[in-house]
Amino acid sequence: MIFQILADKALRGEYLTREEARTVLMASDDQLPDLIQAAWRIRFANSGRRVKLHVLINAKSGLCEEDCHYCSQSRTSTADIDSYPLLSEKEILDGARRAVEAKALRYCIVISGRGPRPKEMVEITSAVRTIKRETPLSLCCSLGLLTPEDAKTLKAAGVDRVNHNLNTSERFYKEICGTHTYRDRIETLKNAREAGLELCSGGIVGMGESDEDLIEMALALREIKPDSIPINFLHPVEGTPLGAQTPPSPTRGLKVLCLFRFLHPTTEIRIAGGREHNLRSLQAQALYIGDSIFIGGYLTTPGQKPEEAWRMIEDLGFEIEEVGSRIQH
């Protein structure tokens, strides 16, 4: 009953208090069906049965000078991953064509590194122009820290959205990264917003943060008002400082998604990296809460194949959000 009252509040556009947010996170597994049903009412009111599909390309892998503890591409990681410099424009365009075939709404170009180098900006914006000309995809770039000039250049090239995650609370941030700060990240989001770009910003669950850290991050995102919030679940990778971390249980993952749904009732909530590894057989239930997923894999870890995601969506009686006309030749 309490969750239905909280859902009513969220649907009226009222903010939940911290205490109410704690109630969501502390729900017992016995209460989970009620909690999901209440979250579903909010999700349905805003996005019906629609699911947005996203495809990522890791356009530059490894070789990163930063030390994010969760990341297999960091300078401290000894994980066995592919490392390569920026892909060619043709390779990035081929990835966009695969995204169209996978029925993706949005294509996300991601590079490792603190931020884009001038030469990389030239090559990425050239690829962006070509993709915008030749496909109907919405484009998101995740390139690390951005200056105001970088953000304006991306906007001028036709980029729709920038991803830059808060990842966790300001308090916990220094526990997961020593080479840049939470404030640096806020600055990048501000630069992107001022350039007129849509924002995608979320976090990672399971890095050792507390409930309060998750609530703090959710509240901080209320100030930022991103257009989409990706919720990633730590997939511990051997060779990284968090490689031995115990990942969140599937039910914990669903409760965290509910927290973000209640606190961000009208925002796209993406069930993002690690969903296959952490939510396992509960992945379909997560779609009653979130309205967006990645398909076809992540930066350095594999993910659900498009055909399997389509089947999951169909089995739920849901529908893939249309991208409009398909690739133009």
Site residues for ligand SF4 per CB under 6 A = 64, 66, 68, 71, 73-74, 112-114, 144
Measured between alpha carbons, how far apart are the two ends of the chain, in Å?
54
Residue pair 47/97 in contact (Cβ under 8 Å)? The answer is no
CA distance 279 to 270: 13
Unique residue bearing structure tokens 């009252």: 5
Q: CB of residue 301 vs ligand SF4: minimum separation in angstroms? A: 13
Instruction: For ligand SF4, give the closer residue by CB, 112 or 228.
Output: 112
Q: CB of residue 51 vs ligand SF4: minimum separation in angstroms? A: 26
Q: CB of residue 268 vs ligand SF4: minimum separation in angstroms? A: 22
Instruction: For ligand SF4, give the closer residue by CB, 21 or 81.
Output: 81
Instruction: For ligand SF4, give the closer residue by CB, 145 or 219.
Output: 145
CA distance 128 to 202: 23
H/E segment holding residue 138: strand 138-142
How many C-beta neighbours within 10 Å does residue 145 have? 17
Short-list 168, 262, 163, CA closest to 206: 168
Q: CB of residue 314 vs ligand SF4: minimum separation in angstroms? A: 34
CA distance 20 to 326: 44
Instruction: For ligand SF4, give the closer residue by CB, 177 or 293.
Output: 177
CA distance 128 to 125: 5
Residue pair 98/210 in contact (Cβ under 8 Å)? The answer is no
Q: CB of residue 261 vs ligand SF4: minimum separation in angstroms? A: 25
Instruction: For ligand SF4, give the closer residue by CB, 38 or 146.
Output: 146
Unique residue bearing structure tokens 């007129």: 196
Specify the length of the chain in residues: 329
Q: CB of residue 31 vs ligand SF4: minimum separation in angstroms? A: 34
Instruction: For ligand SF4, give the closer residue by CB, 144 or 203.
Output: 144
